[in-house]
Amino acid sequence: MRTRGGGLRTLRRDYQLWIMIAPAIAAVLIFNYIPMYGIQLSFRDFDFSKGLTGGEWRGLDYFRQFIDSYLFSDLMRNTFLISLATIIVGFPAPIILALILNQIRRKRMKTLMQTTVYLPHFISIIVLVGMMNVLMSPETGVIGYMMKGLGLGHINLIASTNTFIPVYVLSDIWQHCGWNSIIYLAALSTVDPQLYDSAKIDGASRWQLIRNVDIPALIPTILILFILSMGNILSTGFEKIFLMQNSLNLPVSEVISTYVYKIGIISNQFSYASAIGLFNTVINFVFLFAMNAISKKMSNTSLY
Amino acid sequence: MALKGLTGKELAFHIVLYALCAVIFLIIVYPLYFIIIASFSDSTLVSTGKVLLFPKGSSLFGYKEIFQDSRVWIGYRNTLFYTVFGTFVNMLFTMPAAYVLSRKEFKARRPIMFLFVITMFFNGGLIPTYLLMKDLHLTNTFWVFILPFCVNIFFLIIARTFFETALPAELHEAAVMDGCSHFMYFAKVALPLSKALISVIGLYYLVGHWNDFFTGLIYIRDNNLQPLQIVLRDILLSNQVFQNGAGTGGGAASGGYAQRYADQIKYGVIIVSSLPILMLYPFLQKYFEKGVMIGSVKG
Amino acid sequence: MRKKVVSFISVLLAATTMMSACSNSGGNNGNGNTNTGSSPTANSSTGTDSGKKVKLTAIMTKHPLTKPLKEMEWLQQVEDKAGVEIEWQEITADWDQKKGTMLASGDVPDLFIGPNVITDADFAQFQGLFQDLSGMLDQAPNVTAMFEAKPETKKIAEQSDGKIFGLPKYQRYWPSTASRMYINQKWLDNLSLSMPTTWDELYDVLVAFKEKDANGNGDPNDEIPMDWPGGIGGYFNAAYLLSGTGMTLTDGSPQGYFVEDGKVKNFLVDERYKTMVTFLNKLNKAGLINPEVFTHDYTKYQSVARGEGDMAKVGFTFGWVASDRFGEQLAPQYTSMSPIKATPDSAVSWSYDYNSLNYGINQIVMSAKSKNKEAVMRFINELYAPDMGMQVLFGSLGPNIKDNGDGSYSVLPPADTKMDPGTWKWTSTMADNGAFYIPDTLQLTLGKDMQEVLEQSKPIDAIQIDVDNDVFPGFLKYSSADNSTMGLNNTNVMNLANTNFAKWVTKGGIESDWDSYVKESEKAGLKQNLEIMQKYYDEYKKQ
């Protein structure tokens, strides 16, 4: 097949495929790639009168400014810890939930459960945090009452440096677990019922069915989503953390995104904010790249 | 379905399963219930923890305030259009591309995928993007909600993975034998077999459009084009008294009147904004039922 | 299936028609700008006679309560007199986010109105985007009149090189401070206590509030002796106790900066601050401070103080005015207090906020790209007319202000009796967010709300403050570089300050931490900021 004009031949063979993907490529090129010249801003001064890319070249100055900045190590540590906790606890949760929901045989109950678990996804963050403040108030909140009832004492969950990350992660799971499980439920729906039947005839227990039929069906999706989640290692959400911050939990709750916001609103630090953003991106990308390589080697699953 | 006929092991499994479901259900439902009762209650009582199980000092002030605002209706109309049309365009761009990228014989798939994945991380920033939209004359038109970023790479990857794993290779071989082209195969075989996937991706896109307020915030100046989320955000903020501190801003201004009902509006807004999309899920859910796909292959 | 598709398509079509109608009008609006470019603007002097009004575009950052600008009668009059027709974009939220993109892309309207709508830092950064008004003032005699009657307004407006990009407002009536200190007089009377005048007396009073069932409802545990919104610095903050050490804050010193005898200092590293934190820790240990002080949001802070019915919950706290802080029902129980002395022989002072409450910087700004600069100037001139200022602030003559017929005016109470005067004002007009000038000669009787504020400010007004040597001037013009350095430093310093303040108040430990904390703060940029601010302050004093 390796003749000259092979490229042309595959092009002729695949022309329908090219037609199908052309709109997506065009959209990505136009809306994602054309503005990319803006990345230069991380290496230049922002000089309005000379245009976006006309400012003086500063090389890595802004990156150095960030790395040398007073809060750098705290920010990195907090950001890493929060997103690691989110991945470790938050990633398996929707998988487990999907497996549980998938076990329910009664149709009514299944519909009710599925519809319920996905509702919290639609609550806006302002309301979520407002509600957390009310419910977790040590004096007047339901959770405060319950903790007193259980003899857990008088802990202010929203104020302690020890409880900030658990509260953040668990509320995140509460909000998005059901929503994220949808994708796994869809994957489970592709399992051939014959597989169950034949396994049952072999005398497999419910637990064995889950382990040997359901989980393998989820593996490709799990791997891909896990690789992608590693690519978010430095991207914690901004709004929720910002709203949850108070002066007592600040030592663990100041993260890169909230810091950028705080320096940004005081004056338009376009170049500096852009450099911090790029710094984030590069680290995220390195993690994704590494994770993808590992996955490719071990299971032949890969993003690209 | 009686539990009598079950073996001991099965019975234990059921008990654990239902107990687990009950716990999950309660944990999720209580806060949702709280939002509903809070949207009817006096917000001073809400924030001092007096409202736990039943609404107190109830009134419909919050809802009245929300629906009084004519912008809400315009917002609903706009958002409905952006969501339906936008999702349609999304699917039109994403699904064929995902199918193509799932074909192993498509040589360019790796470089193209890499090109796409890059954009999940690197972007030029808001200002160059804004300038681009302005040059394309998309700013302050409804197109800005539809066209830009009509391919979400994350969803594209999910769809591609689904096509790769859920469509048996034999199916395609058989189809090719019958002289089936890619167009035909995609439209007649791949899509009908992927109802679960289409529902999921469609739902994801739909909700993305529904909740999007950033586009309206940055690119839209005309109030008649603003989506619901922007309108509701405005209403929400107009009742947050802490904005500027008293004297210079809201504090002294809003006084007791707005204060009492601030949270009613806050919680009411959530219900108003998400109810329509919540009602959608049960309709899509049937596509997640087990064996939908295989059944249709045979049928 | 087919039915579904059909209905889907029809929905789509219906929606498209609706939208295209909208986008048409949107498109025209956009073009309005260019059309007016070619329209004749020769009649620049008055422009009132011709039917052709000049079309302008403008952005106003208004309060979310404020009704649509089109419905304001006075604004219609101003536009008519100036011969312009303005298409307003009304912004109620997220202005900072919008502004950055808008300015950086150069996509700006003719006019901006709002409190510090475009900042001095923006002028420095986006050079050439905004119109220097200094050479055009002859077209705006009303503005010149304000500059002459109130020379400080000119000082506020001028950049260091004499250019004027934004005009200030002058609203004259506001008190000298935003924060007042309140104590529950009824509780004092119930327990036969006298008004505390020193920190030690305050401690005893708060202990009595806590232990003796001050509100008399039989539950000795539901009283919150002391409360503030949380954190350190800013209006209504516990830092106001520092006034009892003779320290004069400026605008509540949100980041700790203040001036003493002509020297710029920061209380966050001041020994007196250490004493105050130690005192607060003592209060906290005795359970006298709201345990949620560092975590509650403003809504809860306000809600708690409203008590239950006529049963008050909070003993001692800070606020703008009693009726706002405690609700109409409980307000009569509270008295506004004089500053509390740290020790019986301490001097007292307070926060001086007069300038920031009565003058606003950059309330109105013109784009240099505007094609109708004369028309914009005409509009600005009419807006600053002597009889217009009160209408911008309180609402139109008729529904909001009464002309008494003898040259004097009165602000009317709300037409909607359920509404308080403050909400009424913010609903009716641009209010404090507008650009205007209220001459000192105007005779205007204020509404009930403002009278209450002024009444409750009396204990504070009795204090002598040396404005020349003890108040930090609020409107200094920093260079772009200094501005960003200070911004970055303050982010770091405040991170450190907030964290430690909360820790010291709740857990103690300031004695052992203090020295290293001071060093850390200086390293985080406090020292550099003080040097920068001192430099600008000295230059300001020389003028």
Condensed to tens digits (0 to 9), the pLDDT of residues A169-186 reads: 999 999 999 989 988 988
Residue C57 reports pLDDT greater than 80: yes
> What is the spatial distance between Cα C216 and Cα C208, in angstroms, rounded to a whole number?
12
Return the number of CB contacts < 8 Å for A and B: 253
- Residues A14, B107: C-beta atoms closer than 8 Å: yes
Put simply, the answer to whether A46 touches C125 (Cβ < 8 Å) is yes
Question: Which amino acid type is present at position A258?
Answer: T
Phi-psi domain of C116 (left: phi exceeds 0; alpha: psi -120 through 50; beta: other)? left
In the sheet that C257-260 helps form, which strands lie side by side, from edge to edge?
A: C263-266, C257-260, C249-250, C351-352
C29 has pLDDT over 80: no
Mean pLDDT of chain C: 86
| pLDDT in the model for residue C67 | 87
How far apart CA C204 and CA C211 sit, in angstroms, is 11
Integer Cα distance of A111 and A50 in angstroms: 59
Residue B72 or C42, more confident: B72
Name the band, by pLDDT with cuts 50, 70 and 90, for residue C78: very high
d(CA C437, CA C439): 6
Same domain, C209 and C68: no
B50, B107, B287 ranked by CB distance to A10: nearest:
B107
* Residue C364: pLDDT band with limits 50, 70, 90: very high
Distance of residue C166 Cα from the nearest chain A Cα, in angstroms: 17
Question: Residue A206, CB half-sphere, CA atoms under 13 Å: how many?
Answer: 17
Does position C13 have pLDDT exceeding 50, yes or no? no
Q: Is residue C25 part of a domain?
A: no
Considering the domain architecture, whether residues C10 and C107 belong to the same structural domain is answered as yes
Residue C392 in any domain: the answer is yes
Please tell me the distance in Å from B75's CA to the nearest CA on chain C.
12
Instruction: Provide mean pLDDT across the span B124-139.
Output: 90
Best mean pLDDT range from A83-87, A205-209, C5-9, C264-268: C264-268
Considering C418, C446, C474, which residue would you say is the last residue of a domain? C446
Residue type at C50 in one-letter notation: S
Option in C96, C292, C483 nearest A265 (CB): C96
- Give pLDDT, residue B98: 95
Contact C435, C361 (CB under 8 A): no
Query: How large is the average pLDDT for residues C272-279?
Result: 96
Domain boundary among C446, C475, C495: C446
Check A250 against C297: CB less than 8 A apart. Answer: no
Q: What is the CATH number of the domain that holds C502?
A: 3.40.190.10
Could you tell me if C384 and C296 lie in one domain? Answer: no
Structure tokens at A59: 């090389």
In a domain, C38, yes or no: no
H helices present in C439-526, as ranges: 448-456, 458-461, 467-470, 480-507, 510-521
Among C380, C413, C446, which residue terminates a domain? C446
Question: Is A59 an interface residue toward B (CB < 8 Å)?
Answer: no
Name beta bridge partners: C451: none
Which chain A residue shows the shortest CA-CA distance from B240?
A126
In contact, A273 and C488? CB cutoff 8 Å: no
Going by their DSSP bridges, the two strands C314-319 and C224-227 should be labelled as parallel
**8 Å CB contact between C69 and C60:** yes
Q: What letter represents residue C246's amino acid? A: G
> How large is the C-alpha radius of gyration of chain A?
25
Does residue C4 have a pLDDT over 50? no
Span C489-515, average pLDDT: 92
C41 falls within a domain: no
**Same domain for C377 and C243?**
no
Would you say residue C507 lies in a domain? Answer: yes
Q: Which residue has the higher pLDDT, A8 or C300?
A: C300
pLDDT-wise least confident of A105-114, B256-265, C487-496: B256-265
Higher local confidence (pLDDT), C321 or B143? B143
- CB-side neighbour CA atoms (13 Å) of C151: 0
**DSSP of B150-210:** -S-HHHHHHHHHHHHHHS-HHHHHHHHHTT--HHHIIIIIITGGGHHHHHHHHHHHHHHHH
Interchain contact B162–A (C-beta under 8 A): yes
State residue A13's pLDDT score: 77
Instruction: Give CA separation, A85 vs A89, A92, A126, A206, A238, in Å.
Output: 6, 11, 22, 31, 16
| pLDDT, tens digit, 9 for 90 and up, residues A44-65 | 888 888 877 888 898 899 999 8
Flag if A134 and B182 touch (Cβ within 8 Å). no
pLDDT exceeds 80 at position C201: yes
pLDDT at C384 over 60: yes
Q: Domain range spanning residue C118? A: 2-19+51-175+356-446
pLDDT at residue C257 in the model = 95
Confidence bin at B83 (pLDDT 50/70/90): very high
- φ, ψ at B220 (rounded to 5°): -110, 130
Q: What is the pLDDT of residue C21?
A: 38
- Whether the predicted pLDDT of B292 surpasses 70: no
Identify the contact set of chain A against chain C, taking CB-CB distances under 8 A: 46, 48-49, 52, 69-71, 130, 133-134, 137-139, 156, 158-159, 246-248, 250-251, 254, 259, 262-270, 272
Residues B29-51: what's their mean pLDDT? Answer: 82
pLDDT tens digit string along C106-159? 889 999 999 989 988 889 888 889 999 999 999 999 999 999 999 999 999 998
Alpha-carbon distance B155 to B136, whole Å? 26
Q: pLDDT digit string (tens) for C224-262? A: 999 998 888 888 899 999 999 999 999 889 899 999 999
- Same domain for C187 and C256, yes or no, is yes
Please check whether residues C170 and C184 belong to one and the same domain: no
Q: Are residues C529 and C401 in the same domain?
A: no
Domain identity same for C437 and C453:
no
Local confidence band at A268 (pLDDT 50, 70, 90 cut-offs) = low
For A247, which of C487, C491, C499 is closest by C-beta distance? C499
| Residues C118 and C214 reside in one and the same domain | no
CA angle A204, A205, A209 (to 5 degrees): 75
The answer to ipTM > 0.90 is no
Mean pLDDT of C64-82: 91
Q: Which of A227-236, A265-274, C342-351 has the lowest mean pLDDT?
A: A265-274
Q: Are residues C122 and C224 in the same domain?
A: no
Q: Give the best residue of C99, C105, C292 to mutate against chain A (max A CB count within 10 A).
A: C292
Question: Has residue C26 been placed in a domain?
Answer: no
Question: Average pLDDT over chain B, rounded to whole?
Answer: 80
Q: How confident is the model at residue C17 (pLDDT cuts 50, 70, 90)?
A: very low
Beta partners for C224? C314
Q: A residues 87-106 near B, CB within 8 Å?
A: 97, 100, 102-106
- pLDDT, one tens digit per residue, over A240-252 is 898 888 888 888 9
CA distance A32 to chain C (A): 17
The verdict on residue C31 lying in a domain is no
Distance CA B281, CA A120 (A): 13
Residues in B touching C31 (Cβ below 8 Å): none
Residue C186 — very low, low, confident or very high, per pLDDT cuts 50/70/90?
A: very high
Q: What's the number of domains chain C is made of?
A: 2
Same domain for C143 and C13?
yes
Query: What are the DSSP calls for A67-122, one per residue?
Result: HTSTTHHHHHHHHHHHHHHHHHHHTHHHHHHHHHHHH---HHHHHHHHHHHHGGGG
- Residues C188 and C212 sit within 8 Å (Cβ to Cβ): no
Both C362 and C466 in a single domain? no
pTM, rounded to two decimals = 0.81
pLDDT grade, residue C35 (50/70/90)? very low
Residue C296 resides in a domain? yes
Tokens of A134: 């009310």
What pLDDT band is residue B255 in, cutting at 50, 70 and 90? very low
> Least CB-CB distance to A266: which of C128, C291, C487?
C487
- CB within 8 A of A284, min separation 6: which ones? A231, A232, A233, A234, A235, B121
Range scoring the smallest mean pLDDT among A198-202, A293-297, B255-259? B255-259
| Residue A166 burial (CB count, 10 A) | 13
Question: With contact defined as beta carbons under 8 Å apart, do C394 and C411 qualify?
Answer: yes
Which of left, alpha, beta for C261 (phi over 0: left; psi -120 to 50: alpha)? Answer: left
Question: How much is the pLDDT for C501?
Answer: 94
CA distance A259 to B266: 27
CA dihedral B196, B200, B202, B207 (to 10 degrees): 150
Helices B70-102, A15-28: axis angle to 10 degrees equals 140
C chain contacts of residue B130, beta-carbon cutoff 8 Å: 101, 104-105, 107
